Amino acid sequence: MELVFATNNKNKVKEIIALLLPSIEILTLSEIGCTEEIEETENTLEGNAKLKANYITKKYGYDCFADDTGLEVDTLNGAPGVYSARYAGENVTYEDNVQKMLREMKGKTNRKAQFRTVVALNFKGKQYLFEGNCKGEITNNKHGNDGFGYDPIFRPLGFKQTFAEMSLEEKGKISHRGLAVKKLVSFLK
């Protein structure tokens, strides 16, 4: 089975491939000739995931899936949420976002947060949504060198390491994206 994963984020592609069944072949946007950036213009994770999946299905005719992920921090009233990738502004690096989060959290005692991923699957003419959540906390400092995004400052509940200190396999078992993709795989079986 071939499915397009509607993202240009190589880190996400790597995580997803590690979670999928060998019978599911992932096609990237570049492999189908999609060179344009699909803008995330919706104000919810669900909306952005649907928007990206629908764009590929309508324009290129493929069954596909797309995700959107947000870091939701309690003391920041759920921010950055849907704006997690652009938290420090447009065209910023992961490091810019991490540093802004550390500044915002300085001196705060409530450090509870969660990552939430929504996957939209367009499959055989229908759309399905799958969600994964991972509760945890924002650390005071960066820890670890693996992963991407906010991984160096997010410690999942019940663990001593941040996502950036875990292997891809360890993270995949408990992460928001891993849990959403497990639901997707279960559906496709």
Encoding tokens for residue 12?
């996400």
Contact 72, 114 (CB under 8 A): yes
Residue among 63, 67, 68, 151 flagged as catalytic:
68
- The 10 Å Cβ neighbour count of residue 21 is 10
Encoding tokens for residue 170?
């360890």
DSSP 32-92: GT--S------SSHHHHHHHHHHHHHHHH---EEEEEEEEEEGGGTT-EETTGGGTT-TT-
Q: How many CA atoms lie within 13 A of 105 on its CB side?
A: 25
96 noted as active-site residue: no
Contact 117, 45 (CB under 8 A): yes
Encoding tokens for residue 108?
């705060």
Q: How far is CA 122 from CA 12, 94, 110, 178, in A?
A: 18, 29, 38, 19
Contact 146, 138 (CB under 8 A): no
Enumerate the active-site residues. Answer: 68
